[in-house]
Amino acid sequence: MKTYETLHQQLENARQQLYDLYTQYGFEHPSVLEQSMLLDELINQYNRIFQPSLCRTNPPNE
């Protein structure tokens, strides 16, 4: 299991790399989109591990 510090550092690195790629290539470049998806996955991992209440969905009332 990833520690908070490890995942936090990965998130910060991914954000910085996304920003760098965006400033170099623009918004719709494949490298920028790929990095954005990687960052999304890291954010999802963080939420699943450290914010589990955010990942629960309530079923609709029937």
Count CB-CB contacts under 10 A for residue 18.
19
d(CA 55, CA 53): 5
Grouped pLDDT means (10 residues each) for the chain, 62 residues: 87 98 97 98 92 64 50
- Whole-prediction pTM: 0.78
Q: What is the pLDDT of residue 58?
A: 54
Are the beta carbons of 17 and 35 closer than 8 angstroms? yes
Query: Please, what sign has the CA dihedral across residues 20, 21, 26, 27?
Result: negative
